[in-house]
Amino acid sequence: MDLANLSVLLVWGAATALAVALIAFAVDLSRLSGAKVDARDAARSREQVAVGARGAEPSSPHDTDTGTPAAGAVNRRLAGIGMSVTWLATALLLVAVVLRGVAAGRAPWANMYEFALVGTFVAIAVFVGVNTRRDVRFLGAFVTGLGVLFLVLAQQQFFVEAMGVQPALQKYWLVIHVGVAICATGIFTVAFVTSVLQLLRDGRDNGSPLLGSKNWGWLDHTPAPASLESLSFRLNSVAFVLWTFTLIGGAIWAEDAWGRYWGWDPKEVWSFIVWVVYAAYLHARTTRGWSGTRAAWFVVAGYACVLFNFTGVNLIFNGKHSYSGL
């Protein structure tokens, strides 16, 4: 078996591991929802016992003890399993990407297939990396779910054989420009998930009928909307700096390869649109006081532009940035 085929098998292995992690994280969230209901029922039971015991002295110190575990005492073993399997998926995907690069004899991000692989790796790596500093396992089901989706889509729709690239791409800028763009995209992905959770949590806190059912009880175990917004802002700030360098590096590379810094190529235009949307978001939040759901929806709009820049621009428009005939 050659390295390219081994890389494909490892990608499928990573997708499988992420699917297992997704299940573990989802069941963990389900248990959190059940624990919330159990804790509420236990509180009601204690109140009833207390009312019934008024005026009567208990025969022993334990007569009023309901024996119910404290609220919030939930076994998070499945969340731990999900994190372990996510680490495994990250390692498998890293090896798959390296083998793909060795097989192609270049940096492994020259087409849509490879961009999807490396972008997914960065998103998963950011998730597990942030989790080493603070508990963000509540993001696990959503980040791993997107990871499975991206990997399967890459294998089924974007796959191309490992090969060299056209002369214009045989530059060190392929490593720098595209590599930085992928890192920014991966961080944008995790920030997007965080903002979606912020919108869900904010809706539940404000009494949304859709989010008020017991099936959404796990949202009560996520950080407050303000904390989620803060995390999303930090991630987007880092990604924005990387995306700014992507635009600058792309312009320098375009001048070297095509003799102009800007040519209104569809990819160039939409990359600039992404930059404008996120610049407006950061400006509105830091200087105009935009926060809460307005800021979160700004992030969702920005990530929609990122996805269209990656898929729609490559598949709908013809330009110098079209990847491998797709």
Q: Is residue 268 part of a domain?
A: yes
Check residue 272 and give its pLDDT.
Answer: 95
Indicate the number of domains in the chain. 1
| DSSP symbols for 123-176 | HHHHHHHHHTTS--GGGHHHHHHHHHHHHHHIIIII--------GGG-STHIII
Q: Is residue 63 part of a domain?
A: no
Segments forming the whole domain that contains residue 128: 3-55+76-316
Q: Is residue 106 part of a domain?
A: yes
Q: Is residue 143 part of a domain?
A: yes
Q: Is residue 166 part of a domain?
A: yes
Length of the chain: 326
Across 196-201, average pLDDT: 95
Would the pLDDT of 72 be above 70? no
Task: Give the separation between CA 285 and CA 220, rounded to whole angstroms.
Answer: 25
The proportion of the chain whose per-residue pLDDT surpasses 70, expressed as a percent, equals 83
N-terminal to C-terminal alpha carbon distance within the chain: 27
Would the pLDDT of 166 be above 50? yes
Cβ proximity of 247 and 274 under 8 Å: no
Q: Is residue 322 part of a domain?
A: no
Task: Select the more confidently predicted residue: 319 or 313.
Answer: 313
Q: Which residues contact 316 (CB under 8 A, 6 or more apart)?
A: none
Q: Is residue 291 part of a domain?
A: yes
Tokens 């056209």 found at: 166
Q: Tell me the per-residue pLDDT of 288-311, one tens digit each, with 9 for 90 and over.
A: 888 889 999 999 999 999 999 988
